[in-house]
Structure 1
């Protein structure tokens, strides 16, 4: 099977440009999704590098070849910045400056010191590019709250493949550092471009899937999981806790007298209160715990591997933090507090068999917290164990356990 190098290169440039333009257009429609802009820029910058490389094949200028590599380096850095932005981590001004500075510095070093050593230039650029790609892939495989695991892993696989390609170039150039650059035939080069194009298409598809999944599963106002995503992920955590015989706890949180905040100060202030609470809750729970907006001013937190006592400590810390931080807003006394219902399932519990049952138990406790004066944490009392029925004659069937009742 033979590959036509010119055709493969033309297809790669056309597809890369199309994907870059589409991502930028999507960003213009959804300005809150900055990763789309960064990934679109990465595509177009890499396309520019491919065009420069193609044009340079007819001239073989030692000044132009490093320029194409610098564009690829810029594209890899933009991919990493996009992954940071996707995880809602701020890209400080120095982050973009670092990406551009490395590209400019590598080009200057190539022209001034490495102009006659192609292998040394390959080592330099491959090391930086593989570093950006590896950092982006690592960000994806780290567990993130409210994230789609499938989409992140799929995208990470394509990133890792591209990283492995550049690492292979790095190793090959290091082995032959003092030798002339090896000749690469057009068939081998076309095959490498085709494989790279496949990975780039997969990378872009996975990245767009991540954005779409987040838009479908996140609450737009707070950035937390919405009810559908919360219950879906909570069911997975519950089943995992049962399989591994680990405890699991649920906090159901309600903002006290939230309607009065809207009535007195307006819905814009109410929205800010919800956003501030979401920020506080993120800071008070672990990164692997599940946090979502259950509905209106109610929030649900699923605490992995925590029994009743440590979960109660988390709930009390959250309650105290909210009472302190949301006492005022912009100099106005709003006095926002929270009522929290807590329900836990220990490793021996057989009375709660679904995440819905655990949330219902926390809901009973939440109502008790409201009835008890609000601004407090109430635990749901575990239901008594169901006794084994006596099989002997004249005995009644097994007693049914009552629903969990809240207790302070």
Structure 2
């Protein structure tokens, strides 16, 4: 097969079509934003394939038809890809900016092809807007580049940076030529290399999209394994891992960590009297009251049943007791409505301070548990702190 622009465009179109089908049928599970983003990217690839097929039919169609239809398809694909990537990454979609850049590029290219024909100016004008569209992708990827699990974002970032470099190289090459070509279909070295490398970009970007999708699924599975399904707070496994992280940070700062063990008083009677569904709603309200008393760096998790653990970094004993009292008071003053009746709930709280020199958090947990037992013995609805 003779290698020319039409042949390369046909190959690129077939590749984009296959990638579109792979993305569409390979994304049946996962979070809605990730699936919707990949489906939108698959649609963009399908539209891009039509643009490539039009370029491959350059010898059958008029140059103006190839220009107008090809740019319409390709610019539409670019706009959809911008929105798709931001959808997957859960960034601001910026679809208005993407559409505005796409429409402006189409108008400039059309004007410089029909009203004031100039191929080099046409390529330059369209490239300026294409660079703006590429930068919308780059900025979306740049935000999360420092995450430890952002390898796919780095791959996509390089793909779009290479696409920017390709556009810049094409323009520089055209302006250096004494006799520039009059269209993308002209069989010149610049056009051949440009179409060839441009055809590789969808493959790189699609692989990046799939890897990004896989990373998102892995992250969601990781989070699901560490979140209590009822209350939405951290579970035992998450608390264990967070304890190690907080203790390591406390050692570096040489600051203590406050530990609160909170238990709902007489909670079994609620389940026995009203049923577990109403009991679950009470637990959700209890978690809400605990959370609204915490600082940004504090962590609350469910230890089991109606027992919750709060880890509060960089606090002194007086501050920890004040926090515990605020939680206890907030719960006591909140009317819990069960089956149309107002029900008063109280909590007992055991407190302890974890010294940064301790090997782990288990010692502080045991001290907080002993203090909680003392609070129960003292009549409940009170706070006790471990003596050490």
TM-score (norm 2): 0.73
For the pair 1:14 / 2:18, whether they are aligned, the reply is yes
Deviation at residue 43 of structure 1 after TM alignment: 3.6
How big is the shift at 1:222? 2.1
Match of 2:250 in 1: 241
Residue 316 of structure 2 corresponds to residue 307 of structure 1: yes
Kindly indicate whether residue 349 of structure 2 is the aligned counterpart of residue 340 of structure 1. yes
Alignment match of 1:372 (pick from 375, 378, 385): 378
Q: Match of 2:38? A: 40
Which residue does 1:92 correspond to in 2? Answer: none
1:294 aligns with 2:303: yes
- Matched residue of 1:26: which SS? coil
SS at match of 1:185: helix
For residues 304 and 220 of structure 1, do their structure 2 counterparts lie closer, same or farther at Cα, with a shift above 3 Å needed? same
Distance 2:210 2:77 in 1: 18
Structure 1: gaps spanning 5 or more residues: 28-32, 86-94, 142-148, 383-408
- Asked if 2 retains the 8 angstrom alpha-carbon contact of 1:34 and 1:82, the reply is no
1:62 aligns with 2:59: no
Report the CA distance between 1:208 and its aligned residue: 1.6
Offset at residue 113 of structure 1 (A)? 4.8
Q: Which runs of 4+ in 1 moved over 6 A?
A: 169-182
**Stretch deviating more after TM superposition (282-291 or 373-382):** 282-291
- The residue number in structure 2 matching 1:134 is 139
- Residue of structure 1 equivalent to 2:367: 361
Tell which deviates more after alignment, 160-169 or 327-336. 160-169
Q: Distance in 2 between matches of 1:129 and 1:200?
A: 15
Match of 2:63 in 1: none
Which residue is 2:118 aligned to? Answer: none
Structure-2 residue corresponding to 1:77: 83
Question: Are positions 1:26 and 2:32 aligned together?
Answer: no
Cα distance in 2 for residues equivalent to 1:226 and 1:290: 11
How do 1:90-105 residues align onto structure 2 when only pairs under 5 Å count? 99=95, 101-105=96-100
Q: Is the 8 A contact 1:312 1:342 kept in 2?
A: yes
SS, match of residue 62 in structure 1: helix
SS of the residue 2:255 aligns to? coil
The alignment's TM-score, normalised by the length of structure 1, stands at 0.70
**Equivalent residue, structure 1, for 2:115:** none
Give the superposition deviation at 1:165: 4.7
SS at match of 2:67: coil
Calculate the aligned-residue CA RMSD, in Å. Answer: 3.8
Distance 1:195 1:252, change over 3 A: same
Contact 1:262/1:269 (<8 A) preserved? yes
Indicate the residue corresponding to 1:157 in structure 2.
Answer: 154
Q: What is the aligned residue count?
A: 352
Residues 111 and 193 (structure 1), Cα distance of their counterparts in 2 relative to 1, 3 Å cut:
closer
Displacement of 1:220 after TM fit? 1.7
Aligned to 2:287: 278
Which residue in 2 is equivalent to 1:109? 104
| Residue from 214, 229, 232 that aligns with 1:220 | 229
Q: 1: CA distance between counterparts of 2:326 and 2:315? A: 15
Q: Deviations over 1:244-287 (max 9, x none)?
A: 42221222222222222323332222222333333444444344
Deviations 1:16-68 (A, max 9, x none): 54344333x214xxxxx433433433442343343244334335333442443
Compare CA radii of gyration and give the structure with the larger one: 2
